[in-house]
């Protein structure tokens, strides 16, 4: 039996079956589905599936986070669902996407397939620089020339690969895109004076990004037009011929020079911000990088960095974010050392090991994000490392590997390799030591997480009604994460007034930035989540007012939040408010009230450990 056969089968079933899959790609840790109808997918089941780290929805993609073995799961899903990697089924229900989502989705599909081999080529170039510096290889020898060609090949012929992936994304014959890339950078046309229909020009498109992407965009329109009007008997070769004949000259003469100008402007703009204050740039970019990763929008900055490097300029983007993965590593390593909870220790071990190689999703989703304080610590550590990178002035000159394999990317420019390595490892040390010490000092297992609970085995807690309103069984809530009890047992309340009070005495462990949900840990270890309305996260905090902040200790009956019921309804959202015990599995008893309506402070849930 194949190793991931069962996991792949469950994923296919719960995304709505193979007939609901429009297309599938993957990145370093995620399966990226385009589904015809996301409503057919069982989000809660997928998110809690063994072998799945978490589920994300971003840029119009249904992203199932797997971890380091995602290529194997991807291959198995392709095999079982009989998905062809070169095309989608073409029958998807069009989903509304914002302009930003469209751009990010496009970048992910165009750049994503190339990134692994791009990083591999960067590592080869870095290793060659080390071998030359150490005197182990002669720069004038044939072996050096061969290895140099291996490392440089992808970067020189980058437009060819981009033509292929762009054409695939645009549902055009990918070999037409490949030929467009090859034609734009044909050797005898690069850096030579040309007179084309009276237009004098001297351009080069080798190692560029935008010219081939924009030219292929034009080609896709031409290709689809001719594919409709050319008779079937000759379209196989006539459509590609006419597409290339029209698109390449326009791309070479008009689109390419304009795209190169835009590329230079982007690179110069990034560098001008960096030149204003490298340290400030490091703090901002380093500190927010993991947040960008969570939402999947870091790929837009990755594309900008690649544009910079391909245009011959070093990039500060990859340099300033160097500390992010190491800060995550240090935080999770500290938690792994200190926790007594066997389940958390089992999750943390592979998470910090994968972070060594720059893969931080298991650490983020499995360990730090559910314990938000430690995620913030990792962001601060990354910001400190980024500040030092900005201070040191080292930049990334070429694509390299992730994590520990990222250092070859810094080799270039006038700075000596030993100096570069010194700054690189100092930055890592700053990120790791600050994150590790803060986590090790502050981390404490939740009382209910430890193997030897300190609270009484018969500890009871009466959870009071936090809102005045009508009682609704959780099973009637439309959101399956609540109705199926995935997030825990409890009840829902249809509120009659927009005030939310503390149902227990304890600590505010989670207060979402959008203020639509709040998590409390009672003094005896009971964990409670109160979610005001359904999908109200989309209000971005509008209509909500917080009277507490995260880590505050509150007493039962204290006012926590106020919310505008009429505004929520007017925006088209339900105000049904689940009150759930998120650590239900640790309790012997959870008994809801028999009443159909409650006033604030009425008995709502009787619990017992």
| 434 and 468 in a common domain | no
Distance CA 480, CA 44 (A): 6
- Confidence (pTM): 0.50
Choice among 402-406, 526-530, 583-587 with the minimum mean pLDDT: 402-406
Residue 86 pLDDT level (bands cut at 50, 70, 90): very low
452 part of a folded domain: no
* The domain boundary residue, chosen from 408, 442, 476: 442
Residue 349 is assigned to a structural domain of this protein: yes
3-class secondary-structure state, position 135:
coil
Same domain, 394 and 522: no
* CB contact set of 464 (below 8 Å; sequence gap of 6+): 501, 503, 504, 556, 557, 600, 601, 602, 603, 604
Could you give the percent of the chain with pLDDT greater than 70? 90
Q: Is the pLDDT of residue 567 over 90?
A: yes
What share of the chain in percent tops pLDDT 90? 32
Q: Are residues 480 and 574 in the same domain?
A: yes
Whether 105 is covered by a domain: the verdict is: no
Q: Does 234 reside within a domain?
A: yes
In a shared domain, residues 231 and 199: yes
Q: Residue for token digits 């073995």?
A: 69
Report d(CA 104, CA 192) in Å as an integer. Answer: 35
Residues 217 and 297 in one domain: no
Say what the pLDDT of residue 456 is: 40
Q: Are residues 178 and 246 in the same domain?
A: yes
DSSP 544-584: EEESS-TT-EE-TT-EEEEE-HHHHHHTT----EEEEETTG
The arithmetic mean of pLDDT across residues 499-526, rounded, is 89
Q: 90, 116, 145 — which closes off a domain? A: 90
Query: What pLDDT does residue 98 have?
Result: 63
Largest pairwise CA distance in the chain = 90
Query: Which one of 26, 27, 298, 423 is the catalytic residue?
Result: 27
Radius of gyration (C-alpha) of the chain in whole angstroms: 27
Burial of 261 from C-beta contacts in 10 A (0-12 / 13-18 / 19+):
exposed
**Are 284 and 391 members of one domain?**
yes
Tell me if 499 is assigned to some domain.
yes
pLDDT over threshold 50, residue 273: yes
Kindly state whether residues 66 and 196 are assigned to the same domain. Answer: no
Average pLDDT over residues 135-143: 84
Residue 130 lies in a domain: no
* CATH number of the domain enclosing 479: 2.70.70.10
Query: Does 379 participate in catalysis according to the annotation?
Result: no
Contact (CB, 8 A) for 529 and 466: no
| Residue 457 confidence (pLDDT) | 39
Burial class (CB in 10 A: 0-12, 13-18, 19+), 50: exposed
* Whether 364 and 401 share a structural domain: yes
Give the position of tokens 């730090």. Answer: 368
456: DSSP letter = -
**Angle formed at CA 472 by CA 469 and CA 474, multiple of 5 degrees:** 135
3-state secondary structure of 202: coil
Q: What is the pLDDT averaged over residues 384-405? A: 86
Inter-residue contact 88 to 34 (CB < 8 Å) = yes
The answer to whether residue 250 sits within a structural domain is: yes
Strands 61-65 and 30-35 come out as antiparallel
Looking at the 3D structure of the chain, how many domains does it have? 4
- Is the pLDDT at 406 greater than 90, yes or no? no
pLDDT reported for residue 104: 65
What is the structure's pLDDT at 465?
93
Is residue 383 within 8 A of residue 338, CB to CB? The reply is: no
Q: Let me know whether 249 and 380 are in one domain.
A: no
Helix (H) or strand (E) holding 14: helix 5-14
| 354: enclosing H helix or E strand | helix 342-356
Neighbours of 534 (CB within 10 A): 19
Name the pLDDT band for 59 (thresholds 50, 70, 90).
low
Q: Are residues 220 and 286 in the same domain?
A: no
Strand 30-35's sheet: what is its strand order? 21-26, 30-35, 61-65, 54-58
Q: Tell me, what's the pLDDT at 469?
A: 93
Q: Is 27 a catalytic residue?
A: yes
Domain boundary among 442, 472, 493: 442
Domain CATH code at residue 74: 3.30.1360.60
34 with 78, same domain: the answer is yes
Range(s) of the domain holding residue 253: 157-268
The band of 87, judged by pLDDT with boundaries at 50, 70 and 90, is very low
Task: Tell me whether residue 427 is in a domain.
Answer: yes
Among residues 379, 455, 531, 547, the one annotated as catalytic is 531
Say which DSSP state 296 is in.
Answer: T
Range with lowest mean pLDDT among 365-369, 372-376, 528-532 = 365-369
């Amino acid at each position: 039996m194949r190793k991931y056969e069962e996991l792949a089968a469950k994923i296919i079933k719960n995304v709505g079956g193979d007939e609901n899959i429009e297309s599938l790609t993957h990145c370093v840790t995620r399966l990226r589905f385009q589904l015809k109808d996301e409503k057919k997918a069982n989000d809660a089941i997928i998110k809690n599936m063994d072998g799945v780290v978490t589920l994300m929805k971003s840029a119009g993609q249904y992203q199932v986070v797997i971890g380091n073995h995602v290529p194997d799961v991807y291959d198995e899903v392709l095999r079982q669902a009989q998905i062809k990697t070169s095309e989608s089924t073409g029958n998807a229900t069009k989903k509304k996407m914002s302009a930003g989502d469209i751009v990010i989705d496009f970048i992910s599909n165009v750049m994503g397939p190339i990134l692994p081999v791009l990083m591999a080529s960067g590592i080869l170039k870095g290793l060659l620089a080390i071998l030359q510096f150490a005197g182990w290889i002669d720069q004038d020898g044939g072996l050096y020339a061969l290895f140099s060609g291996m490392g440089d090949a992808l970067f020189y012929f980058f437009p060819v690969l981009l033509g292929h992936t762009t054409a695939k994304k645009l549902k055009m014959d990918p070999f037409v895109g490949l030929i467009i890339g090859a034609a734009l950078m044909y050797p005898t046309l690069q850096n030579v004076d040309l007179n084309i229909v009276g237009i004098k020009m001297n351009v080069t498109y080798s190692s560029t990004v935008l010219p081939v992407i924009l030219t292929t965009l034009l080609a896709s329109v031409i290709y689809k037009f001719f594919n409709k009007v050319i008779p079937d008997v000759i379209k196989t070769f006539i459509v590609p011929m006419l597409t290339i004949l029209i698109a390449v000259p326009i791309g070479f003469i008009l689109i390419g020079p304009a795209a190169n100008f835009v590329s230079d402007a982007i690179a110069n703009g990034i560098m001008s911000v960096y030149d204003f204050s490298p340290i400030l740039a490091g703090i901002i970019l380093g500190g927010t990088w993991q947040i960008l990763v969570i939402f999947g929008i870091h790929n837009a900055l990755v594309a900008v960095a690649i544009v910079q490097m391909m245009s011959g300029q070093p990039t500060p983007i990859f340099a300033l974010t160097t500390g992010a993965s190491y800060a995550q590593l240090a935080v999770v390593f500290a938690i792994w050392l200190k926790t007594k909870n066997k389940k958390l220790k089992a999750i943390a071990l592979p998470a910090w090991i994968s972070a060594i190689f720059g893969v931080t999703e298991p650490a983020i989703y499995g360990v730090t994000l559910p314990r938000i304080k430690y995620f913030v610590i990792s962001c601060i550590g990354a910001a400190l490392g980024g500040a030092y990178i900005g201070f040191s002035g080292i930049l990334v000159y070429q694509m390299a590997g992730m994590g520990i394999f990222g250092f070859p990317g810094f080799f270039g420019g006038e700075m000596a390799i030993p100096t570069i390595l010194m700054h690189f490892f100092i930055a890592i040390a700053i990120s790791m030591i600050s994150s590790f010490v803060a986590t090790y000092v502050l981390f404490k297992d939740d009382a209910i997480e430890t193997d030897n609970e300190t609270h009484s085995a018969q500890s009871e807690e009466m959870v009071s009604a936090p809102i005045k309103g009508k009682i609704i069984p959780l099973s009637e809530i439309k959101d399956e994460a609540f109705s199926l009890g995935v997030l825990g047992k409890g009840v829902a309340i249809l509120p009659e007034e927009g005030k939310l009070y503390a149902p227990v005495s304890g600590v505010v462990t989670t207060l979402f930035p959008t203020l639509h949900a709040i998590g409390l840990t009672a003094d005896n270890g009971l964990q409670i989540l109160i979610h005001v309305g359904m999908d109200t996260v989309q209000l971005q905090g509008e209509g909500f007012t917080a009277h507490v902040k995260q880590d505050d200790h509150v007493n039962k009956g204290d006012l926590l939040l106020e919310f505008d019921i009429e505004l929520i309804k007017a925006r088209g959202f339900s105000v049904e408010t689940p009150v759930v015990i998120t650590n239900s599995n640790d309790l012997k008893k959870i008994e809801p009230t028999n009443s159909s309506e409650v006033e604030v402070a009425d008995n709502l849930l009787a619990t017992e450990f």
